[in-house]
Amino acid sequence: MGVNLSGRSFLKLLDLTTEEIEYLLKLSKNFKDMKRAGVPHRYLEGKNIVLLFQKTSTRTRCAFEVGGMDLGMGVTYLDPGSSQMGKKESIEDTARVLGRMYDGIEFRGFAQDDVEELAAKSGVPVWNGLTTEWHPTQMLADILTVQENFNYDIKGKTLVFMGDAANNVARSLMVVCSKLGMNFVACGPKENMPDAELVKTCEAIAAENGCTVKCTEDVKEAATDADVIYTDVWVSMGEPDEVWAERIKHLEKFRVTKEVMAMANPDAIFLHCLPAFHDTNTTIGADIAERFGVTEMEVEDEVFSQKILGDGIAIRPAEGKLYAPCDGTIETVFDTRHAVNMTSADGVEILMHIGIDTVKLEGKYFEAHVSDGQAVKKGDLLISFDMEAITAAGYKLTTPMLVCNVDDYAALTPVAKGTVSVGETAIQLTK
């Protein structure tokens, strides 16, 4: 039986089945492909929608306006000062009036009860563009981005949310990951975790879809071999200003840094729903820097703006052994023994990751010959691995070697071609 969402409101992801969410994602992809190809898709010519905003926004407003106009609809925007809802007019009365003029209502505001009442009383579909509890439309954009980066094969991938995991974005991510078969990890202080009831609900959904839900305060545990690292602002719009001091104290250790990204898979991506406080080029960013001495909040500017993992080369191993490319110190041997971080004697930060998605082997077929903090010489054996068994299990052995602090150098040049022997120079760095 096909999916039919005609006339349905979209208020929270828990209301939709896995099949319905997948349908919306496929529909989004199709429309995006049409737009890129210049194919007209004004399928809703003659329809009109209203964007009813209690909270201002750049991306949400523009996304709905452009999307609506691309589909041929008329779009009206009502900002917080342009509507009488909640001032001279009740939500119920507003719903009745707008429902008689428009074919759909997009709401962005505070209370989930408000958007639920609009849907119940308007007589037309209502779409939740953000409430304090949920942000379902954001999830469609986020998951489509993840699909695009992983060739539309996201089942079994791991998404980690760092920071205030009790907020609407983290809660919505937990639901959508559970529905679509992605592992979800909430990483933050215990004071900022999703409520226990929702976690339990999502655990049950995840079990049905072959994935997991985890909450942890351990950054290394969370980030190791993640496919997606996601974060959001530490204080949401509408929260009192005095919350900043407490949030900074609790959340600083959960900032997304290049070191955190280096723990993730080599092809991992970073996501942020924006706005992001990654520098002091905003009024709030400058104010927080002056008051608390914090110039980067939820994410480092280097992660937000540049190559987050670094640059380097990929090697196809001829034998099941990983050797030290230079003298230096081992920083981290991953618990699953398929990857290692080291720092060279002259300060180059290097990540070596054996194979693609091999974290799923949970250490099987890998043996570490070094440990955290150990000094090594060029050519020392770091990890041995069973190439045949890993290949037979369905994993590629392509091994990236990345320079994580590449911005410290003027240029990175791969100098080795074809077969590279142990001890041979593979990368040249220029200061």
CA distances from 293 to 297, 332, 350, 364, 380 (A): 10, 30, 30, 45, 43
Residue type, 102: Y
pLDDT of residue 306: 57
- For the chain, how many residues are written? 431
In the predicted structure, residue 391 carries a pLDDT above the cut 70: yes
Segment among 77-91, 101-115, 243-257 with least mean pLDDT: 77-91
Per the CB < 8 A criterion, the answer to whether 211 and 181 are in contact is yes
Reported as type and span, the H/E element at residue 181 is: none
**Cβ neighbour number for residue 369 with a 10 Å cutoff:** 15
State pLDDT tens for residues 36-86: 788 899 999 999 999 999 998 889 999 999 999 999 999 999 998 888 777
Report the distance separating Cα 361 and Cα 281, nearest Å.
43
For residue 387, what pLDDT band results from cuts at 50, 70 and 90? very high
Report the distance separating Cα 420 and Cα 43, nearest Å.
56
314 versus 21: the higher-pLDDT residue is: 21
CA distances from 162 to 222, 234, 261, 299 (A): 9, 10, 11, 10
Domains of the chain: 13-128 (3.40.50.1370), 150-305 (3.40.50.1370), 311-430 (2.70.70.10)
Cβ burial, residue 13 (10 Å; 0-12/13-18/19+): buried
- Report the pLDDT averaged over residues 112-117: 97
Report the distance separating Cα 231 and Cα 276, nearest Å.
9
Angle of helix 18-37 versus helix 136-149 axis, rounded to 10: 70
- Report the pLDDT averaged over residues 112-139: 97
Reported as type and span, the H/E element at residue 180 is: helix 168-180
What's the mean per-residue pLDDT of the chain? 90
CA distances from 69 to 46, 238, 329 (A): 11, 30, 57
Contacts of 8 (CB under 8 A, 6+ apart): 125
293 versus 426: the higher-pLDDT residue is: 293
For residue 296, what pLDDT band results from cuts at 50, 70 and 90? confident
pLDDT of residue 203: 98
The sign of the torsion formed by the CA atoms of 25, 27, 30, 31 equals negative
- pTM: predicted TM-score of the whole model, two decimal places: 0.72
In the predicted structure, residue 141 carries a pLDDT above the cut 90: yes
Phi, psi of 343 (to 5 degrees): -120, 130
In the predicted structure, residue 230 carries a pLDDT above the cut 90: yes
**Cβ neighbour number for residue 59 with a 10 Å cutoff:** 13
In the predicted structure, residue 169 carries a pLDDT above the cut 80: yes
pLDDT of residue 229: 97
* Three-state DSSP state, 159: strand
Smallest Cα–Cα separation from 5: which of 25, 24, 26, 18? 24
